[in-house]
Amino acid sequence: MRRRALRIALALPAVGLVACSGESFGPPPPFSNCSLPLANFTDAGAERSSIPALNNPDVATRLIAPHVGYVNRRDMVIGLEFNGQPLAIPLKLLWYHEVLNLQAESDPADPSATGERLTITYSPLTGSVSVFDPEPSDTPDFVVSNYVLDNNLVMDDGSGTLYPQLTRSATCGPSDGSSLTRVPYELMVYGAWLQVFLDTWIATRATGHDFLYTLYPYGNYRDPDNASLFYPTSAPIDPRRRPKERIVGVPSGTGGIAFAIADLREVAARDQEGQNTSVWAASAVARGEPVVAFWNSTAQSARIYRARANGRPLTFEVVDGRRQDVETGSVWNFAGEAVDGPLEGESLEAHPEAYHAFWFAWAAFQPDTEVWVAPIPLTGSADFVPADDAALPPPDPDLVRRRPR
């Protein structure tokens, strides 16, 4: 049986996840050097701080059962490459843990060198995913604090410093003002990730906890039209989109650009009506730089790239179901690789600041955001269309990577 341990996982007692009322639990304990007033935070009590973060969970290949069998092909996973190995982290695992710390073993040839580290986070109440390089914080491992900020996960580094996930900056404590570095990731259905990396490893449910990982613990909370929230927010929900629509965007100060997943899906489906799979490329500007969101219907997701190759800014269109840059006519796949045309062999850089979230949370943290507008009137399609779980989706050439990473 093929297995690999990243490091021995912490043995923590199982803790039940309790829905909270949204009321503050009294004055928070004293913190120093707070650039963001503590009055902005909600103290969610011990129930929240007892949500156990995972440290180097057990991972295995997709063929190992039963600990991998809890994930099906239509489940969303956070996909990344860690220590040279493709790795999938199911969102359903992070419904119950929210923070996952990875630490690779040191190179035996150089014991003084620190192995690669990543902190993978998912805030179920804001639907937001971010992956961080924790090295700048000089923190062994992050945990879930008992605070939320506008319903968003607030991490604790163990030194009395708080890091809201969506600000990625320390806002209270000795490290106030320091920032974590975001790391690009992919968010897609597991069946699509398998098409990209059939040899992927996946975090197993052998966590030492007895959570029922196949059961979403928040009822209808994530329904796109559900405006109810667990905790107070600092501003009304922005009415431009449905409260819990899935958004992927690039922040810029208090603004940025947001792409609604439902819009990308619908414009692609209408353009390529009757096709098994559909793709789209939505060009925009963020932080004064050109960006593009690539949509793929097999992945049920989108990824944002810096729209520049060889120092040249690019804009994109879809012609006969293929993404092309307007400037050279080169064809691009979902991995941001030019597979045909004058730029064949070039790659776009995945935007490191891009992240996925519910609309209400994106707009709360980026109140001056722009929203990408589709080139044709849309009807408001479903936010998520699950893939058939009976078998892997048909092979999608748009997902095939041209070169190993």
* Of 58, 30, 25, 59, nearest in space to 44 by CA: 25
d(CA 115, CA 373) in angstroms, rounded, equals 43
Co-location of 388 and 251 in the same domain: yes
Q: Are 359 and 243 in contact, with CB atoms under 8 Å apart?
A: yes
Co-location of 288 and 189 in the same domain: no
pLDDT in the model for residue 80: 95
Q: Are 131 and 120 in contact, with CB atoms under 8 Å apart?
A: yes
What is the Cβ-side half-sphere exposure of residue 223, based on CA atoms within 13 angstroms? 7
The answer to whether residue 235 is domain-embedded is: no
The b-or-e profile of 103-121 (16+ CB within 10 A means b, else e) is bbeeeeeeeeeeeebbbbb
Specify the pTM: 0.88
CA distance to 148, 199, 287, per residue, from 195 (Å): 37, 10, 33
Please give the distance of CA 204 from its chain centroid, rounded to a whole number: 19
Co-location of 162 and 280 in the same domain: no
Of 186, 203, 220, which residue constitutes the final position of a domain? Answer: 203
Number of domains making up the chain: 2
Of 183, 203, 223, which residue constitutes the final position of a domain? Answer: 203
The answer to whether residue 228 is domain-embedded is: no
Of 175, 203, 231, which residue constitutes the final position of a domain? Answer: 203
d(CA 80, CA 102) in angstroms, rounded, equals 12
The answer to whether residue 240 is domain-embedded is: no
pLDDT string in tens for the chain (405-residue length): 333 333 322 222 222 233 333 333 333 455 667 777 667 889 888 778 789 999 999 999 876 667 888 999 999 999 999 999 999 999 999 999 999 999 887 666 666 556 789 999 999 999 999 999 987 656 778 999 989 999 999 998 877 788 899 998 877 777 777 789 999 999 999 999 999 998 999 999 999 999 999 999 999 999 999 999 999 888 899 999 999 999 999 999 999 999 999 999 999 999 999 898 999 999 999 888 999 999 999 999 999 999 999 989 999 999 999 999 999 999 999 999 999 999 999 999 999 999 999 999 999 999 999 999 998 877 776 777 666 655 556 788 898 876 554
Co-location of 296 and 158 in the same domain: no
Q: What backbone phi and psi angles, to 5 degrees, belong to 91?
A: -60, -35
d(CA 244, CA 262) in angstroms, rounded, equals 11
Give the residue numbers spanning the domain of 163: 3-203
Could you list the beta-strand ranges (E) of 160-245. Answer: 162-164, 181-182, 186-189, 201-203
Co-location of 50 and 167 in the same domain: yes
H/E stretch holding 249 reads: strand 246-252
The answer to whether residue 404 is domain-embedded is: no
Q: How many other CB atoms are there within 10 angstroms of residue 50's CB atom?
A: 16
The answer to whether residue 177 is domain-embedded is: yes
Co-location of 196 and 250 in the same domain: no
The answer to whether residue 37 is domain-embedded is: yes
d(CA 145, CA 48) in angstroms, rounded, equals 7
Co-location of 282 and 159 in the same domain: no
* Of 360, 356, 90, 94, nearest in space to 221 by CA: 360
The answer to whether residue 219 is domain-embedded is: no
Co-location of 15 and 68 in the same domain: yes
Co-location of 133 and 197 in the same domain: yes
* Of 94, 106, 164, 152, nearest in space to 126 by CA: 152
Q: Are 329 and 341 in contact, with CB atoms under 8 Å apart?
A: yes
The answer to whether residue 74 is domain-embedded is: yes
Q: What backbone phi and psi angles, to 5 degrees, belong to 301?
A: -160, 175
d(CA 173, CA 387) in angstroms, rounded, equals 44
CA distance to 56, 275, 377, 395, per residue, from 281 (Å): 36, 17, 17, 20
Co-location of 178 and 252 in the same domain: no
**Plot region of 33 (φ>0 → left; ψ -120 to 50 → alpha; else → beta):** left
Co-location of 169 and 254 in the same domain: no
Co-location of 133 and 195 in the same domain: yes
